[in-house]
Amino acid sequence: MGTQYTQTAPIDLSKFTPAQLREALKEKEAKTAEDRQAYKDLVEQTVPKAIFELMIASEVLSKAKTEAFRYFENVLKLKSEVYGLKEKQMSHTFSYKEGEVTIGFRINDGWDDTVSTGIAKVENYISSLAKDKATGSLVKMVFNLLKKDSKGNLKGSRVLELQKLTKDFNDPEFTDGVDIISKAYKPKKSVWFCEASVINDDGSKTPVPLSLSAVDFTAGYKFDFFNESV
């Protein structure tokens, strides 16, 4: 037989005095306040535990990253000795039949305050060219090269394209503006990275997750809270 539910009869509030109702309300409010305080206490107890575990994970990753760079520092030293050349590229990839590792650094674009002057010079010259459809498309292309990203920075890779155009325009104002922009470029190293992949039998690569965002939960655990109805 299925479980039978008995409907609770509605409470007749008229049988209670105002004093009793006030007392019952106080008790309910006190219970609510007690439950909410218990929740806050649980948060205060849980956060330090999570931070402790994550700090351990961070330390493990830091040690693994350091060891990986140490391994390949020796490899790179030997390579420079064997081939008689010390390469200064941003990254190096090392592989064998079952996997590969890439180490290197990334660059963030940076500019000094004179970049705005160079951009203004280029924009002034280019705007004066927009006289017909043919020059209009050229103007649009240059303005796209000068378009800034979401952080308000000009992309360093576009400076080379602007420099190529100085020969086409052959104008002192445009050339000076591009020169100011190129000299204002101050790139900075952002992070040293290490990436690894396992090479499968079919030749495809499976990246080794090396961040909390990329790594999966341990086998058997599934976080279903957001899928549950409250």
222 in any annotated domain = no
9 in any annotated domain = no
> What's the mean pLDDT when you consider all of the chain?
85
- Asked whether residue 175 falls in the same domain as residue 194, the answer is no
- Asked whether residue 42 falls in the same domain as residue 103, the answer is no
- Asked whether residue 93 falls in the same domain as residue 121, the answer is no
139 in any annotated domain = yes
- Asked whether residue 80 falls in the same domain as residue 43, the answer is yes
- Asked whether residue 102 falls in the same domain as residue 197, the answer is yes
How far is it, in rounded angstroms, from Cα 30 to Cα 192? 54
94 in any annotated domain = yes
216 in any annotated domain = no
Q: Give percent of the chain with pLDDT exceeding 90.
A: 41
- Asked whether residue 40 falls in the same domain as residue 136, the answer is no
- Asked whether residue 65 falls in the same domain as residue 155, the answer is no
Q: What is the pLDDT of residues 138-195, one digit of tens each?
A: 788 888 888 887 777 788 888 888 888 888 888 899 899 999 999 999 988 888 999 9
3 in any annotated domain = no
User: Would you state the pLDDT for residue 1?
Assistant: 45
Q: Residue 178: what are its φ and ψ, rounded to 5°? A: -65, -40
User: Looking at the 3D structure of the chain, how many domains does it have?
Assistant: 3
User: Would you state the pLDDT for residue 132?
Assistant: 65
Q: Are 173 and 166 in contact (CB under 8 A)?
A: no
119 in any annotated domain = yes
96 in any annotated domain = yes
Q: What is the pLDDT of residues 136-145, one digit of tens each?
A: 777 888 888 8
Q: In the predicted model, is pLDDT for residue 11 greater than 50?
A: yes
What is the pTM assigned to this prediction? 0.66
Residues 6+ apart with CB under 8 A from 130: 136, 139
- Asked whether residue 192 falls in the same domain as residue 105, the answer is yes
Between CA 157 and CA 143, with CA 121 as vertex, the angle to 5 degrees is 50
The whole domain housing 55 covers 17-85
- Asked whether residue 144 falls in the same domain as residue 102, the answer is no
Shortest CA distance to 154 belongs to which of 191, 119, 117, 107? 119
